Amino acid sequence: MEYPVENRKRQRLSVGVGLFLTCILLTTVVGLFAGLMISNYTHNNYVMYAEKAETAPVQRELVRENATAAPAQNSGESETKAGVVSAFAENSQFTKAQIVEMSAPSVVGIDTITTATTNSFWYGYGQSYEIPGSGSGVILTEDGYIATCAHVVEGAKSVKVTLNDDTSYDAAVVGTDSKNDIAIIKIDATGLVPAVVGDSETLTVGSEVIAIGNPLGELRGTATAGIISAVNRTIEVEGQAMTLIQTDAAISPGNSGGGLFDATGKLIGIVNAKVNDSQAEGLGFAIPVNSVVDEISDLLNYGYVTGRPYLGVSTQDVTLRSRDRMWYYSDGTRCVLVEKVISGSAAEAAGIQPGDLILKLENEQITSGDALSSAISAYKPGDKATITIQRDGKEMTVEVTFGEYAPQK
């Protein structure tokens, strides 16, 4: 490559001075023209880049849905450029900052007011008072349907939702499922950023996750990172056995109903519990999304979960007492007292009455209302079963045909 250059130099030295000056002039003009063209091209490209950067937030949802692994430029670091997030080439993961940026707009804070009644000598009887509460929620649709935990909104007379941008809305409870601790609420808003639902079945112990919620009802948008500590962990939450995801991401009161997101920014769990023990740390739990997809769909479409067996009684847990001459004593038998029978229910059709004691469902001993609910859940609407009751001190059996649960109008 060097030889032709040297040859051209020798040729230039042999021409006249006038031609030499003409060449210099032409070279200068061409250089200035090329410089202007390059400068203009560079400016235009800079403006296009800046415009893309400004519109990046609007395209965030498309990025979250369609992001694919791209070759890493150096040392495996991810890069965000002009609204396009390139993932890690080796595992398609995003950085924690990117996950939070993508997912936080889909998580809301929830504030509730519940009414209670005093029932004590010191504070009087029958006096109403208000109890404030708080929790979190995850946006499911652009038009304002939000998932949260049933215990967050249960019994609330008012529910308020605050979005990631600090906008607040009054919310209505669409439906609740206390069995799975899931509820759907609705706000009158559009253009929201729904979470992209992932696949909780693909989780393995050690997978990285991020929890986003409203701890203490005051720190909305808080993100905490951790790993999956266990999958399919069966624990009891407020008397209800649940199979949950266990994580060591920091979970606090107020996080209930918030999102647990995987390393690709997809929703894989609804946070609902933690172990509150001074001797334990990092024991948080979330409802796997795969386990409640059908229930969430029913709540969205019907306001209740379809296909649930229904007996139709209100009960109270009791312990039986026997009379020995002048004294009563407890014989330790625990069962449930029927306080109310719903009109038109399966219980009414079977002849169950207020004041009856439910002792058994088939051969299963019924020691509490939770035990009765658990036993009933093994059946389907239309199934028949024998219930042993005690009425006026005498045991008898009744046959019940379970109905299908639907909320009372």
What is the CATH topology of the domain spanning 200-290?
A: Thrombin, subunit H (2.40.10)
Output the pLDDT for position 117: 82
Output the pLDDT for position 85: 35
Tell me the CA distances in angstroms from 203 to 48, 237, 244, one per residue in order.
40, 22, 12
Domains 200-290 and 309-404 share a fold: no
The answer to whether residues 147 and 116 touch, using CB atoms and an 8 Å cutoff, is no
d(CA 91, CA 68): 10
The angle at the Cα of 365, spanning 363 to 351, to the nearest 5 degrees, equals 75
- Beta-carbon contacts of 356 under 8 Å, excluding residues fewer than 6 positions away, are 337, 338, 389, 390, 391
Residue 227's closest CA among 260, 266, 276, 273? Answer: 260
Output the pLDDT for position 237: 80
Residue 241: alpha-carbon gap to chain centroid: 19
pTM of the prediction? 0.70
Question: Side chain identity at 249, as an amino acid letter?
Answer: A
The answer to whether residues 153 and 159 touch, using CB atoms and an 8 Å cutoff, is yes
- Beta-carbon contacts of 370 under 8 Å, excluding residues fewer than 6 positions away, are 239, 240
Sequence spans of domains, the chain = 12-87, 200-290, 309-404
Query: Which residues are catalytically annotated?
Result: 151, 181, 256
Exposed / middle / buried, residue 34 (Cβ in 10 Å: 0-12, 13-18, 19+): exposed
Tokens representing 36 are 């202007």
Q: Decide yes or no: CATH 3.30.565.10 for domain 309-404.
A: no
Question: Would you give per-residue pLDDT tens digits along the chain (409 residues)?
Answer: 333 333 333 333 333 444 444 444 555 544 544 444 444 433 333 222 222 223 233 222 222 244 333 333 333 343 433 223 333 333 457 899 999 999 999 999 999 999 888 777 676 777 888 899 999 999 999 999 999 999 999 989 999 999 999 999 999 999 999 889 999 999 999 999 999 999 999 999 999 999 999 999 889 999 999 999 999 999 888 777 899 999 999 999 999 999 999 999 999 999 998 887 777 788 999 999 999 999 999 999 999 999 999 999 999 999 887 655 444 445 668 899 999 999 999 999 999 999 999 999 999 999 999 889 989 989 999 999 999 999 998 999 999 999 998 876 6
d(CA 228, CA 232): 11
The answer to whether residues 401 and 384 touch, using CB atoms and an 8 Å cutoff, is yes
